Every structure is written in structure tokens, then in C-alpha cells.
Structure 1
Amino acid sequence: MPTATATRLAQRRHVPYENWRPPVIGVSLLVPVGADCITVVDLRGMLMLPVGALHDGQTPEEAGYRVLTDPSGRLRLVRRVAVDSVQTRRRKVITHVMAAAPMTRGTVRSLVYRDPRAIVRVMPTLQVLDQWSIGRTRLLVSLQAMATGDTACIEGGVVQAQVPSALGA
């Protein structure tokens, strides 16, 4: 006959963990180049949008400037275009997508990514979308929000009508 402790442990095993650790908050940069290309970073064969952490007391814009540094000073973050929130098993991951003003290929060459192992590249947007399976929804929604002037919210892979106030920081 199972004991009360064994029964409670069995019940806990089936309950998902939620918010028992502080969320991981980051920022991702969407830097358009011309009409049909975007800036990506190539970290040892893994292509991704430039990303970085958002620390306590920092705005997404301040964190964005730490992700890509620009000695020429031409990188200009325009606004937040999307907020992506995913509840993993043990913590929530929130990513703010910041859009930059369009840049030229020559200007992108001067950008320096926070990780010195990575190479900053310019790729056609459609090629990036074809190659990515993870992060494709975030990129598509961010591109649409950038084009329409809205701020999109993705929560658990589902696009929401508006950004919840809890994520609006």
C-alpha cells in the first residue's frame, strides 16, 4: 500500500514547473539591409539573429547596443517590434526583438558582435527563413510588425493580439 508521501511525490512528478526560477530575459536585434536582406551572426555554423542578455535595470534598447557595437555610430535601434515569451519546464524565457534602422552592407561590415567567435553576415531574408526551423515564427512576426509599425506578442508559440503588461517592460 502506497504511503501518503509516495502519493504526493507521484502527483508532483506530473505537475509542470512554472516560474520557480526568475525568468531569462534577452534581446534580439533585427537589422534590415536594403529591401530583402537581414543581418545574422554565424557562430561556428549556427546562424541566428544577434542576441544578448537583458540585465536588471536595463532597457531592451540599452541591452541591444551591447549586442552589436558599431564604431561608426550608425547602428540606430528604432523600436521594439516583438516580445516572445516561452515557458520552459523550469523557467520562463522572454525575448524582446528590437528593430534597427536599415543599414547598408558596408555599414554592417563594421558591426562587432558581443561574441568574438561569431561572424556578422548579411543574408537574403528568404534564404534565412528557408534554413531556419527554430525561430522562424519569431522572425516572420517581427518582420511583419516592423512593416506595419505594431508591436507583436508571441506567447508559447501563439501570436497574441496585444503585448501583456507583464511583458511590456
Structure 2
Amino acid sequence: MPTATGTAPAPRPHALHENWKPPVVGVCLLLPVGSDCLAIADLEGMIMLPVGTVDDGQTPEHAAQTVLPGPRSHLLNLRHVAVHEVQARRRKVITHILAAATAMTYNTVTALQYRDPRAVLRAIPTLQFLDQAPPPTRARTIAALQALATGTTTHLRTDCIRARPFTSLAP
């Protein structure tokens, strides 16, 4: 009867469940109104910061123009203040946060249109939004507000927050 005299082959390492699919890239707008409010999208009672997708070959700045379509959207002086990366089970989710460099007025907010016609853009106090936002959104919004105030760009990766001096994205 034959017997095995060698050692068993070493088990192969398991493949990580990361990045099986291309990343999802989005853009989020942080629009201060006055000194203590934010412009939010109210979608049938659900409040959120205005968001959209970044298509292949599109810059976050260009994608931001599609979040608020219309003649007034190009007048917003947007600045890249944060990048939030989350590694989901099979793909990475990257959100670019752009903020208006100067505070908007209430009239400007009401004149803008959101990409989803069911939602209404309105201004609410920043603290009220932070109280109602889920913890990940709250942390991302606070980090973006701090980056806007200090002139830096913040990189958020899961639980790690790093800031670096602001550099222009323009070529």
C-alpha cells in the first residue's frame, strides 16, 4: 500500500474582499449660508448635503456643476476641502467634498435648483443639521468645515483624518 512521504502543500492565502469592482466616486457640496447655516437638500423630509456622481473622465469640479444645474451654479466659487475614502467590502467609495469659498445668501439658495426635482434646497442652522445627521456624515461635515476655515484639504480614510496645506487642483 503506497504511503505519502512529503508534507502537505501550504494553504493558499485567501484573496482580500477589496476592490473587486471599480470605485464609486461622488461629489458633495458644502455651501455655507450666512454665518451659521448650511444649504441642504430636503428630499421628502430626509435632509442631506447636495450630492452627485463623478463620471469617468470628469473632474469633481465639473461634477459639482451638475449637482446644481442652472445658470447660477457656475457662479459658485467652489474649493476642494476634503476627500473621504471608505473601503466597502468589494469596492472603494470616494467622496470629494467641495465648499463655497464665500458664504451664500438665502436668496441665492432659493434661486438654485437641485438635480433631483423632488428635493428642495433650503438653508438650516449648521448645528441643527449636525444634530440630525448620522455619525459618519456628521464627522465628514465637521472635518470639511474645519478644512474650509483653515484653508487646508482634509483626507478622511475610515477612522484616520489627515490634513495637508491647500493646493489648487487647477492645472
TM bracket (short chain): 0.7 to 0.9
Taking the aligned partners of 1:17 and 1:74, their CA distance within structure 2 comes to: 40
Is the Cα contact below 8 Å between 1:153 and 1:160 reproduced in 2? yes
Pick closer, same or farther for the CA change 1:121–1:16 going to 2, 3 Å: farther
Contact 1:83/1:152 (<8 A) preserved: yes
Q: Report the CA distance between 1:56 and its aligned residue.
A: 1.1
Gaps of 5+ in 2: 1-10, 166-171
- Distance in structure 1 (CA, Å) of the matches to 2:113 and 2:78: 19
Tell me which residue corresponds to 1:166: none
Per-residue deviation at 1:162? 4.1
TM-score for the superposition, normalised by structure 2: 0.82
Q: Go from structure 1 to structure 2 and tell me whether the alpha carbon gap of 1:35 and 1:92 turns closer, same or farther (over 3 Å shift).
A: same
Distance 1:18 1:74, change over 3 A: closer
Q: Could you say which structure has the larger radius of gyration?
A: 2
Q: Deviations over 1:140-165 (max 9, x none)?
A: 000000000000010013212449xx
**TM-score normalised over the length of structure 1:** 0.83
User: Structure 1: where are the runs of 5+ without partners?
Assistant: 1-6, 164-169
CA RMSD of aligned residues (A): 2.0
Q: Aligned letter for 1:144?
A: Q
Q: Which runs of 4+ in 1 moved over 4 A?
A: none
Equivalent position of 1:127 in the other structure: 128
- The share of aligned pairs that are identical, in percent, is 53
1:3 equivalent in structure 2:
none
For 1:146-157, what aligned pairs fall within 5 Å after superposition? Answer: 146-157=148-159
